[in-house]
Amino acid sequence: MWTRAAKPAHSGRHAAPADRRAGAGAAVMLPSKDCHPSWLTQRQASPEGGRAMPERTPTMLAKLIAVAVAAASTTPLFAASFATLDGTAPLVIAHRGASGYLPEHTLGAYELAIQLGADIVEPDVLLTADGEAIMMHDTTLTRTTDIEARFAPRNGGYAVADFTLAEIKTLTVDPTGTAATSYPGFTPSMADPYKVPTFAEFLAYVRDYNNTNRTRIGVYPESKIPATTSQNTKIVDLMQAYGFTAADQNSYLQTFDHLAARQLADLQAARGMTVPVAALGAAVAMGSGFGVFDFVNGTLSPLADLATFAGGVGVALASSDLNADFVSAAHAVGLEVHGWTFNIADPIAAADQYGSFIGMGLDGLFTNYTDLAVAAVARAASTPVPLPAGLPLLLGGLGVMATLTARRTRRA
Ligand code: G3P
Ligand code: CA
């Protein structure tokens, strides 16, 4: 099974901005082997028929560098780095679990997502009538559960906030979209995998999975709107109770309300927690810079302002201004960029979409099809970048140059 341990330590994503930029490996174009210089062989014979003397230092240095660079183009040793904030592969975030295959927001869907290779599992969180945190995207229970067959409407509908946890626990989650009630070859480990989980049950499941398998699967809860103080506090308290407290656990908090996002950061600070917060919205150009549009408050948050409390931004893939310049601007102030939602089921069409956004430097990919995102990241990682292979040669060349220079100095 693929585990997060196969990737570089994630803690580097939360280093100081300057360090992050330094750590972000950029692809480098180098001369091909067809450009290999012929000067080295030409100078093997001296006019006197004896041993050739070294050329003057600057020219020699330049040629040694050229050899190293040219050789490097034919001997790639490292896999590609990425244009992410820290140069590591973008995180695969299972959006509502493997929601393209199984009923969303269920423990079964999260278990499948982890088995398919997700780095992070993402739930939306809302409070029930009795103040319990449950996993649900919609503010009503109608789209994803069988509540209409079990209960009469309340206050004209089926709002989550109008039903108790005990009532919601009687429901079954139905598959939506391309999802089904089973997935080939997958047997959920839990007895009742397609019920509405509490947020606490979800956290316990991921914590226990990590402890058992020595993995570092992260969680990425979203405080759904209305992201009230009581809801935000409940989420942070539960994160703390289940041990998701630090910036190096692949975990994040998120919300569309940027005032609530700031509150999530403040609530954590009061508890000594450092899980990065992502402000959600649309990527927007503003003057010579960029910001994220806050759909809840109808305001535009400049990236520099968000960077004072957030660790990242979560932006709609359809944002008109989501491009490499936006991602670079976010990285420049230390913000990761996570894009939502990759929802193409066709592998070929999906591959194009992933490739495009990975090329921009996205740090995280919210996906309904975990396996397709994992495959796209693996493809991108398999593209060789030759410069690292040339570095030993370059250093060797510089060593030769230093030796020759020392000899000339002694003869002079
Ligand atoms: O949290 C990122 C993404 O999930 C936001 O969209 O509506 O699916 O929660 P939504
Ligand atoms: Ca969400």
Contact 127, 230 (CB under 8 A): yes
Nearest C-alpha neighbor of 285 from the set 256, 328, 253, 255: 328
Mean per-residue pLDDT for 55-73? 37
Mean per-residue pLDDT for 206-227? 98
Tokens in use for 252?
A: 């994040």
Strands 384-385, 91-95: pairing is unpaired
CA distance linking residue 248 with residue 86, whole number of Å: 13
Residue closest by Cα to atom 10 of ligand 1: 137
Compute φ and ψ for 114, nearest 5 degrees.
-65, -40
pLDDT tens figures, 344-360: 999 999 999 999 999 99
- Give the per-residue pLDDT at 303: 98
Neighbours of ion ligand 2 (CB under 5 A): 124, 222
Q: Which residue has the higher pLDDT, 140 or 52?
A: 140
- Give the per-residue pLDDT at 63: 36
What residue ranges do the domains of the chain occupy? 33-79+387-411, 91-381
CATH fold of 91-381 reads: TIM Barrel (3.20.20)
Q: Identify the residue whose tokens are 């994160």.
A: 239
Q: Is the pLDDT of residue 200 over 90?
A: yes
pTM for this entry: 0.78
- Give the per-residue pLDDT at 81: 86
Specify the range with the lowest mean pLDDT, choosing from 11-25, 82-96, 136-150, 364-378: 11-25
Candidates 104, 140, 144, 280: which one to mutate for ligand 1, based on the most atoms within 8 Å of Cβ? Answer: 280
Q: What is the secondary structure of 35-49 as a DSSP string?
A: G--SHHHHTTS-TTS
Strands 336-342, 289-294: pairing is unpaired
Candidates 338, 341, 362: which one to mutate for ligand 1, based on the most atoms within 8 Å of Cβ? Answer: 341
Ligand 1 first shell, C-beta below 6 A? 95, 124, 137, 222, 254, 280, 314, 340-341, 366
Angle ∠(364,311,201) on CA atoms, nearest 5: 70
Known catalytic residues are 95, 137
